[in-house]
Structure 1
Amino acid sequence: MALGTGGVKAALPALGADQFDPKKAKQLSTYFNWFIFSLTIGSILGVTLVVWISTDKGWDWAFAVCAIALLLSIFFISLGNPFYRNNLPKGSPLLRFLRVFVASFRNRKLPIPENADELHEIYQDKEDDNLHHEILQRTDQFKFLDRAAVIRRTEDDDNDGSNSGSEWRVCTVTEVEETKILIRMLPIILTTIFMNTCLAQLQTFSVQQSVTMDRDFIGFEIPGPSVPAIPLLFMFILIPLYDRVFVPIARRVTGIPTGISHLQRIGIGLVLSAISMTVAGFVEKKRRNVAIQHDMVESQDALPISVFWLGYQYAIFGAADMFTLVGMLEFFYAESSAGMKVLSTAISWCSLAFGYYLSSVVVEIVNKETMNSRDFEVGSKSSINDETKNKAIISKKQGGNRAALFVYATEGLENMAFIAIAGYTLLLVQAHRSELRPPKCVDNINHQCVEATTGEASILYVGLYLVALGTGGIKAALPSLGADQFDERDPKESSQLSSFFNWFLFSLTIGAIFGVTVVVWISTNKGWDRGFAVCLVAVFFALLSLTFGKSLYRHNVPKGSPLLRFIRVFVASIKNRKLPIPENSDELYEIGEDKEAAILNNHQEFLQRTDQFKCLDRAAVIRTDGITGKWRVCTVTEVEETKILVRMLPIILSTVFMNTCLAQLQTFSVQQGTTMDTTINGFEVPAASIPVIPLLFMFILIPIYDKIFVPIARRITGIPTGIRHLQRIGVGLVLSAISMTVAGIVEKKRKNVAIEHGMVDSLAPLPISLLWLGFQYAIFGAADMFTLVGLLEFFYAESSAGMKSLSTAISWCSFAFGYYLSTVVVEIVNKVSGGWLANNNLNRDKLEYFYWLLAGLSVVNFGVYVLCASWYRYKKLEVPVVEKNDVLKEIKP
């Protein structure tokens, strides 16, 4: 609905305005007034008739009315189709803007001529009214963009447009001026955003105010959702008065066809918006005084004050909306060139969207900054009359498995998803538009390809980096968000936590299988643009599912930056390096409040002092000179948080090499697969889909591990997760070494087949099935299942409450460093071995030796891991155990 409504609202004003001669400003201004008038009538019907139907008859009837209304509107717009003036678009205005910036950057060293006639322009259609061609004169603002229209004098430049790349080197003056118009418009629209933020707050809090007031009107009780009808009724009255009374009088005084200029009209609306907010404050003060005078602060009954007191603020804001909204539509349409009128009127609606988004931000900021204030706290109480006594409602139904099913959530994940969507959109556009990418290679084997230009490469890399940034942010936050839905202090939920990480990896596996099969097939057979489109839709639906579970989540609000706490510990320990460390832990600094109350009420965590890294304990030494401050003394818990991170680093470093092996396996196994028989039951497996083999094994193994292995191991060991996290990681490292050994044996087998059949230098597939790679892939799939989930679970379980998200994010760094290290390993091996992997022919390389080298290094790496794991000390945590004496007990892993 949002997409459809947004499209209609974006195109409708420009379509209607196109039916008028641009030279007849009077008729055009009247059109925009009555356009808003028609929207007002529709809104009045929505908040009265549709609200009544949904309340009394049911939501199905209300949605049916909306559907019928849309069908009728489509019918009416179709009836007028033969009478419309249709201005056909001549290319994308956004693409023209991008070309202007690219051309001006390319021509940045060229001088700008003083004479505008020396700049590039197309004049042949200037007098042709049938084509509605518009020529814009050069202006003095943003002169650096004029370089886009400078005619290049070198012989190798083709300025007549016959070269496909010339449009990205020289633009017309009109295209440059279109871009300047858009830049000049942006500050105007940005200054109207906050007015719409006020509108959003007025619509929200005025409804909340109304439910506490007397809504009786001539024996009829006004429903709460229908309160916004009040400003609409004022607009219903004011718009005809403005168009039929104010404009003719103002026109005689000013001589302007629209009565006042567009920018003046917008400015008046902004002033009225400020006045409306001031009046709203006075009305709220009046309402609250009535509640206090009648001792009804905590009462649920309606206050003896009429809801029509809200009419003052609504009337003024209705007038503000009438001035600003119509003024913006009129201004953007009138000031735009012929080729960008639809885009400009569409952009004007963005002020509403950004204003509503900003309203949520404003409430959050105000609440955070004024949470301790008694006079200015908004939106954080369950009753609007009570400022100090009401408490937030905590639902016991939140969290657990219900919330884990909707794990794609929180604002941080939304932002990362939007970044990923932006990246996929950029890649989609480049793949779809041939002018944004180099032409296809004439001879790919002999490298007869046209190199990508700087602009084309920039679009590609920006898109890829946006996708990487968005995906990285999601993967960093997602595991800890899902795990936060389980209470570690609850035995039942604590046992479910391990299963969550298993099924989290299972869901990643399903997505990866879909990517290397369906998306690869679409990209290969239908085009890269459609492949990126599928990815874009998938991320969009993930973002959509995010919003469904928001009300169910447990949100652990961060209390300061963990990185800043680590730095403070190191700084404080250096500053206190000459102070003696007391033997008694009670002499070190810790918060002075009741620990049990802090843990139970605030979910705060206290860590006990450990013996490792004693030098850091100086950060918690209380100074005798009385000097205090966060950078002078830290709590024991903060010191232990830092120790935990330091202890974790060797663990994650010892898993980096396993991901180096994974990178090599994914790279060289694909190369091996292209030389083998890729036909399975008559279907040829694409080379890019070969990584589906380990994914399929993981798809089978994860449920078996979670539903069979873990319950059996739990009975034997008594550990909720079956085996400890560090044991699970170790098993994965061992399987990784075995996988590399098997990979070497399989490669030896493959090369022997090539030698036996005399196909060492042949490009034809060898008579050996691709499924031979399944042995190494199956073992490494099991290794990945053990190590990856073990790492996530280990980092989450061992981290303090304030650093769980950071720790799970750090665990993904093992992947990044492993992949980077893989390139270094190949370079070193080639230099030391004399070229094991230097040939383009895999049949002449020594890939099996390389695999066995990785297997040997994996064994050494496992030995290092065993030492690190033996040295690691689990955190000591104090948690309250409810008993008869109600005391704190120490629970050690």
Structure 2
Amino acid sequence: MIEQQKKKRKSGEIDEAKRVHDSSLDHKGRIPLRASTGAWKASLFIIAIEFGERLSYFGIASNLITYMTRLLHQDLKTAAKNVNYWAGVTTIMPLIGGFLADAYTGRFFMIMLSSIIYFMGLSLLTLSEFIPSLKQCEVYKCSHQKKVHEVAFFLAMYLLSLGTGGHKPCLQSFGADQFDDDHLEERKQKMSFFSWWNFVLSCGVLLGVTLIVYVQDYVGWGVADLTLSITMGIAIIIFFIGKPFYRYRMPQGSPLTPLLRVLVAAIAKRKLPYPSNPDFLYEVPHHQSTESRGRLLRHTSNLRFLDKAAIIEVDDNPSAEGIKNPWRLATVTNVEETKLLLNMSPIWLTSLIFGLCIAQTSTFFTKQSSTMNRKIGHKFEIPPASMTSVTAIGMIISVTIYEKILVSVLRRRTGNERGISILQRIGIGMIFIVLSMATAGSVERKRLRSVEKEIIQGGRVGTLSMSVFWLVPQYIIIGIGDGFSIVGLQEYFYEQVPDSMRSLGIAFYLSIIGVGSFISSFLITIVDHVTEKIGGTSWFGKDLNKSRLDKFYWLMTAMSGLNLLAYVLIAKRYTYKNVQRSLIVVDGDEEKGST
């Protein structure tokens, strides 16, 4: 009898070891089985829909200004403003979508809803090119556009913005959720997930700015839109088929409320002395945390003022059921989560220059390429927007070399399971950004010399004889930098935010790119005004050949160099999230996690 009970107990332990105890559930609301859910088997379905969405987004966004000037007959200034407005809305919406997913809907539902909205936008875009009553006016038939086509076009574009708002912050975090942090092998796979995610993303970008842009320029915008709609429809079906394999995190209500409670409690208890030992601060038992909001965090010594929110007073009287008044007493984990967000602010601010530099690839880099010799052979001419593909190629090369070669070497040398820390990876990428801006300044100076020789003195009309391939170094250097910085930023804002707000964390990363674009527009306005007032001639003339982009690039080099120094100083003082890990199970064996 005793022997049978031992066998049952042992069998139960083995069964439990086969399940995932990270507060996730399977599609039927049960504790997931490790063998049949999550990890790469689930992530591949998620990566498939990301490929479809990125192909669609960059296929449209990279050539959008061309569509507005050529088919909607807008002047360059109006078209540029409309592109910036659309890009701004598209990058702000993820903050709303990420919050709603973390607080109320859950990531899977938000992804499905936003994907359907996205598909509706693509479908409307396609219909506006084929239905005669919605179709744009041919250039040779009229000089202005049908109002109904503009309405349909902009409605479709902002449906894409709305879809992106729920899609982008949730999809990547949902993919990373498929890996268990308390399982050694899955934790290592999760570190690679962010790299291979961006590898696939770059493949989508590469096809979008080459194949789709070529179809738009030489076959027809309607055919391109139809292709994107079909691709996105197939991607949504693939994503839905993977439903039984996913691990799901249930929404826990607003993730911002506990953080606000910490601030209120800390202010209310500001006059209390600090406890002699951090162990005297209030924390819930580990099993209660696992069942509710996730993992516990260990106490850190920075931002000590917030620790006062976790000091237990006589009136607080925390019981087994929980805290009597959560606005008077917070847990150590809630305090540490608040510290995490405050500590992330300087990293976010010093990353904005990175977003500012990235913004140049789709504006001035593309404009430069349009003035240069883009011919391959006698007939084929590279579309200006397709030069962005070189950045994607650089990122693909960077990610592949890092994952296949550098990680294993660095792990042996540093003893860090990531190879290098997240912030070190971001910093390396920032070095490449500085080099890219310096290279862009040098190449633009050479281009202006060609302008002086061929157009001003030689009277040449049209594009320069200087090959567009002179721009390849600045594109590929920025792409290699992306393989470090973008991957690092995505991993940082997913890992270092509180567990309950990881969709919002990815939205914080996306906001770097969006705010960087807005800062780029603001900086151009300031530089334009100052240079015209001081020198009499603006660096940004109506004709690119009479502008001084080289000086602007050198200004960007100086700014990104100084920003890099500030980033290094902040990163050196940064304290990473300190998680109380449970047992790690690897192939049936148990290994102690960090405690």
Deviation at 1:740, TM superposition (A): 0.2
Residues 462 and 576 of structure 1: CA distance in aligned 2, closer, same or farther (over 3 Å): farther
Shifted more, 602-611 versus 729-738: the winner is 602-611
Deviation at 1:757, TM superposition (A): 2.2
| Residue of 109, 116, 119 corresponding to 1:421 | 119
Equivalent-residue separation in structure 2 for 1:519 and 1:716 (angstroms)? 43
Aligned residue in 2 for 1:436: 134
Aligned residue in 1 for 2:427: 730
Aligned residue in 2 for 1:633: 329
Q: Does 1:739 align with 2:436?
A: yes
Aligned residue in 2 for 1:712: 409
Aligned residue in 2 for 1:620: 310
Deviation at 1:640, TM superposition (A): 0.8
Shifted more, 404-413 versus 632-641: the winner is 404-413
Q: Does 1:812 align with 2:510?
A: yes
Deviation at 1:539, TM superposition (A): 1.6
Aligned residue in 1 for 2:546: 844
Deviation at 1:858, TM superposition (A): 0.2
SS in 2 for 1:878: coil
Equivalent-residue separation in structure 2 for 1:640 and 1:888 (angstroms)? 26
Deviation at 1:466, TM superposition (A): 1.5
Residues 513-532 of structure 1: CA deviation (Å, up to 9, x unaligned): 11111211222233222222
- Paired letter, 2:144: V
Equivalent-residue separation in structure 1 for 2:125 and 2:423 (angstroms)? 40
Q: How does 1:386-425 map to 2 (within 5 A)?
A: 394=33, 396-407=35-46, 408=49, 410-425=108-123
Report if the CA contact (8 A) 2:179-2:186 is conserved: yes
Structure 1 residues without counterparts, runs of 5 or longer: 1-378, 382-390
SS in 1 for 2:580: strand
| Residue of 521, 529, 535 corresponding to 1:823 | 521
Residues 524-571 of structure 1: CA deviation (Å, up to 9, x unaligned): 233222222222112211111111211111112232321222222223
Residues 739-791 of structure 1: CA deviation (Å, up to 9, x unaligned): 00000000111111122224577541211111110010111001111100001
Aligned residue in 1 for 2:348: 652
- Paired letter, 1:630: P
Residues 695 and 722 of structure 1: CA distance in aligned 2, closer, same or farther (over 3 Å): same
- Paired letter, 1:749: K
Q: Does 1:535 align with 2:228?
A: yes
Equivalent-residue separation in structure 1 for 2:252 and 2:344 (angstroms)? 22
Report if the CA contact (8 A) 1:880-1:888 is conserved: no
Aligned residue in 1 for 2:195: 502
Residues 465-498 of structure 1: CA deviation (Å, up to 9, x unaligned): 2112212322211221111111222222222112
Aligned residue in 1 for 2:22: none
Residues 199-232 of structure 1: CA deviation (Å, up to 9, x unaligned): xxxxxxxxxxxxxxxxxxxxxxxxxxxxxxxxxx
Q: How does 1:293-372 map to 2 (within 5 A)?
A: none
Equivalent-residue separation in structure 2 for 1:435 and 1:441 (angstroms)? 16
| Residue of 768, 776, 784 corresponding to 2:482 | 784
- TM-score, normalised to structure 1, is 0.52
Equivalent-residue separation in structure 2 for 1:463 and 1:572 (angstroms)? 46
Report if the CA contact (8 A) 1:878-1:888 is conserved: no
Report if the CA contact (8 A) 1:582-1:588 is conserved: yes
- Paired letter, 1:837: W
Report if the CA contact (8 A) 1:676-1:767 is conserved: yes
Deviation at 1:700, TM superposition (A): 2.7
Residues 564 and 601 of structure 1: CA distance in aligned 2, closer, same or farther (over 3 Å): closer
Residues 316-350 of structure 1: CA deviation (Å, up to 9, x unaligned): xxxxxxxxxxxxxxxxxxxxxxxxxxxxxxxxxxx
Shifted more, 568-577 versus 464-473: the winner is 568-577
Aligned residue in 2 for 1:855: 557
Residues 149-180 of structure 1: CA deviation (Å, up to 9, x unaligned): xxxxxxxxxxxxxxxxxxxxxxxxxxxxxxxx
| Residue of 200, 207, 227 corresponding to 1:514 | 207
Report if the CA contact (8 A) 1:737-1:859 is conserved: yes
Residues 425 and 882 of structure 1: CA distance in aligned 2, closer, same or farther (over 3 Å): closer
SS in 2 for 1:606: coil
CA-based RMSD of the aligned residues comes to 2.7
Deviation at 1:672, TM superposition (A): 0.9
| Residue of 639, 656, 671 corresponding to 2:367 | 671
Residues 745 and 586 of structure 1: CA distance in aligned 2, closer, same or farther (over 3 Å): same
Equivalent-residue separation in structure 1 for 2:430 and 2:113 (angstroms)? 35
Greater relative contact order (CA < 8 Å, ≥ 6 in sequence): 2
- Paired letter, 1:611: S
| Residue of 132, 144, 155 corresponding to 1:450 | 144
Q: Does 1:766 align with 2:464?
A: yes
- Paired letter, 1:405: L
Residues 888 and 396 of structure 1: CA distance in aligned 2, closer, same or farther (over 3 Å): closer
Equivalent-residue separation in structure 1 for 2:252 and 2:269 (angstroms)? 25
Deviation at 1:441, TM superposition (A): 4.4
Equivalent-residue separation in structure 2 for 1:845 and 1:691 (angstroms)? 22
Residues 392 and 845 of structure 1: CA distance in aligned 2, closer, same or farther (over 3 Å): closer
Q: Does 1:793 align with 2:495?
A: no
Aligned residue in 2 for 1:661: 357
Residues 5-50 of structure 1: CA deviation (Å, up to 9, x unaligned): xxxxxxxxxxxxxxxxxxxxxxxxxxxxxxxxxxxxxxxxxxxxxx
Residues 500 and 380 of structure 1: CA distance in aligned 2, closer, same or farther (over 3 Å): closer
SS in 2 for 1:832: helix
| Residue of 430, 434, 448 corresponding to 1:751 | 448
Report if the CA contact (8 A) 2:373-2:464 is conserved: yes
Equivalent-residue separation in structure 2 for 1:755 and 1:652 (angstroms)? 42
Work out the number of aligned pairs and report it.
495
Equivalent-residue separation in structure 1 for 2:569 and 2:120 (angstroms)? 45
| Residue of 690, 693, 696 corresponding to 2:387 | 690
Equivalent-residue separation in structure 1 for 2:342 and 2:583 (angstroms)? 29
Residues 570-607 of structure 1: CA deviation (Å, up to 9, x unaligned): 2332333344432322332222x3x2x45777783111
SS in 2 for 1:880: coil
- TM-score, normalised to structure 2, is 0.78
Equivalent-residue separation in structure 2 for 1:549 and 1:759 (angstroms)? 61
SS in 1 for 2:179: coil
Equivalent-residue separation in structure 2 for 1:718 and 1:380 (angstroms)? 40
Structure 2 residues without counterparts, runs of 5 or longer: 1-26, 50-106, 318-323
Q: Does 1:870 align with 2:572?
A: yes
- Paired letter, 2:305: C
Deviation at 1:681, TM superposition (A): 3.9
* Percent of paired sites with the same residue: 35
Q: Which has the larger radius of gyration?
A: 1
Report if the CA contact (8 A) 1:675-1:763 is conserved: no
Aligned residue in 1 for 2:21: none
Equivalent-residue separation in structure 2 for 1:753 and 1:469 (angstroms)? 44
Report if the CA contact (8 A) 1:879-1:888 is conserved: no
| Residue of 569, 576, 581 corresponding to 2:262 | 569
Equivalent-residue separation in structure 2 for 1:437 and 1:858 (angstroms)? 45
Report if the CA contact (8 A) 1:663-1:819 is conserved: yes
SS in 1 for 2:198: helix
Equivalent-residue separation in structure 1 for 2:175 and 2:465 (angstroms)? 47
- Paired letter, 1:401: W
Equivalent-residue separation in structure 2 for 1:695 and 1:875 (angstroms)? 31
Equivalent-residue separation in structure 2 for 1:679 and 1:848 (angstroms)? 24
Equivalent-residue separation in structure 1 for 2:388 and 2:514 (angstroms)? 18
